[in-house]
Amino acid sequence: MSETLTIDGMTFEVRRSARRKTIELIVDRGGELRIAAPMNTEAGAMADYIRDKRFWIYTKLAEKEALRAPGAVKEFVTGEGFLYLGRSYRLLLVDAQDRPLKLEAGRFRLVRAEAEQGREHFVRWYIGHAQPWLRQRARLWWARLRLKPTEVVVRDLGFRWGSCGKSGTLNFHWATILLPASMVEYVLVHEMVHLHERNHTPEFWRRLERAMPDYPERKAWLAEHGGRVLEL
């Protein structure tokens, strides 16, 4: 039987390890709560740790809920709006052009015969434009942070905006490029700081604040509004 711990109405799955030296909290993509702890950690110590981290837990749960919030279903018809770097561009269906989808003269243009595959074309377009944008911005931050990722990859990350792999690869959700540029940059810098601090330790937040002093405002905006961009 798995071990659980309920604190202030929140139930955590407890995972103990003889190799672990510190306590860590995890909020999974579906909002499930876990606490990882050294083998002989007492329940009281874990409860105290959880209570100290309540604000962080509530913030993460709010972010997950925002990402799950249902948005308006997009229709691939002339006049529908689609985001790119925080700005909405109207869609125009056309009879023919050299590519299924492109952004030209302030409008997304989609070949009419491809409308049924509109989502696939948009996701492909977003990935193709997010990859170079994020790589360029990452290069600008290398010198400032003294941190260099091994690779920058754009793909579907489910409920996460970004992740930092153990090999130094930074992964970003393709929908990140729908956010305003300042929010994309926050996600990028957040993950780059993870190259130095793997977990959200006090040192992690200090490093992030030194690099981006207004990160709390950006973080709060993303938690409140981020889910609305995932309407595609």
| Block mean pLDDT (10 aa), the chain, length 232 | 81 91 83 89 93 80 62 84 94 95 95 95 96 94 87 88 90 94 95 90 91 92 77 61
- Residue ranges of E strands in the chain: 3-7, 10-17, 24-27, 33-38, 81-84, 87-94, 101-104, 107-111, 151-155, 162-164, 169-173
What's the pLDDT score for residue 59?
Answer: 73
Q: Are β-strands 169-173 and 162-164 bridged in parallel, bridged antiparallel, or unpaired?
A: antiparallel
**119-229 CATH fold:** Zincin-like (3.30.2010)
d(C-alpha 63, C-alpha 69), whole Å: 10
What's the pLDDT score for residue 116?
Answer: 94
Angle between helices 202-211 and 215-225 (to 10 degrees): 100
Domain positions in the chain are 3-68, 119-229
d(C-alpha 179, C-alpha 157), whole Å: 15
What's the pLDDT score for residue 232?
Answer: 65
Q: Are β-strands 24-27 and 33-38 bridged in parallel, bridged antiparallel, or unpaired?
A: antiparallel
- Any idea what the Cα angle at residue 218 is, between residues 226 and 157, rounded to 5°? 40
Structure tokens at 81: 């709006």
What Å distances lie between residue 131 and 37, 52, 98, 135, 157, CA to CA? 37, 38, 22, 6, 14
Closest Cα partner for 232 from 188, 177, 193, 186? 177
Handedness of CA 231, 189, 193, 134 (dihedral sign): positive
What's the pLDDT score for residue 65?
Answer: 64
